[in-house]
Amino acid sequence: MIDFIIMVAPIEPFYAFNSFNPFEWNGLKFYPKFKKGILKGFESEYKDLRVFLHYDKIQLSNSLHKFYKGNNYSDFTHLELTNAIQEICQMFEIDAEYWEIKKMEFGFNIFTLKPAKEYIALFLEYKEKEFEKMKHKQNDYGRKCFLSEYALKVYDKSLQCKAMDSVKISDKTLRVEFCYNQKRKLPKHIKTLADLMDKDKFKELFKDLNEAFTKVIYNDEVDFTNSTNEERILFYASLNSDFIKVEEHINKTEVKAIRQKIKQLKERFFKKEFKKWFLKALSDKYIELYCS
């Protein structure tokens, strides 16, 4: 699934920038967009894609999945992705290799044994950064972990669809995403829409997603065999985010060693049964959608 995306391609310099009047181009009606009184470009919409014309470039954004299928909660195969890209290229008369990807979200749904909402609290931290709650109004529907150039998301797609779109889908639908917030974080072989059409290059996206979630700490069942009282105290203290914050404030010289000890304890004590199931479910779904 390629959901939210921002992509840009060069175009011939636009005569319409000599005027603030709306105009038609490629069958679409464009309207001027201003920021602090300055004309920034002209905006339109094509099948849920936001189309923005600058003087010498065009930018498309929003969900490729929703553009092609009318929703972003169903499965989205590689063939469907390729067809969506070909439609865009034909519509705007710009070949796929000229569409440069700026931002992108990659992921897909997996189907859980129990309602998906029962799993979202199992995602604890990634690279020593805690997962935060994803909310819509007062509804807690998932977890996210944001870093400077990318993010991980996992959420109950049925709760999101119900809260945001009033759409009902299976409550066992768990969405998993790797979000590229900076183009330099994209895999080195993924730069343009043409690269997404190449299955050999496309698999680099799953490699990023799988490697990231392999490093996640999961709140699985625990086994304290051969543990000491001190280790158990430290383990449970670490599950409270305020513990490390306090140590960083009053015990700065020891924080690095404490963090390393906590990491070792979590590796020892968490059973990893959910982690094994989850990573296999990701792999199986990727093969089903993108390798057939």
d(CA 216, CA 131): 10
Residue 36 has pLDDT above 70, yes or no: yes
Given this model, what pLDDT does residue 2 score? 83
Residue closest to 205 by CA, chosen among 230, 179, 242, 226: 179
Residue 91 or 20, more confident? 91
Most confident option among 19-23, 30-34, 94-98: 94-98
Residue 240 has pLDDT above 90, yes or no: no
Residue 107 has pLDDT above 90, yes or no: yes
d(CA 278, CA 276): 6
pLDDT average, residue stretch 242-266: 83
Question: Between β-strands 100-111 and 123-126, what pairing exists: parallel, antiparallel or unpaired?
Answer: unpaired
Output the average pLDDT for the chain. 90
Q: What is the pTM of this model?
A: 0.85
Given this model, what pLDDT does residue 17 score? 63
Q: Is the dihedral of CA 241, 278, 288, 112 positive or negative?
A: negative
Range with the poorest average pLDDT among 174-178, 199-203, 242-246: 242-246
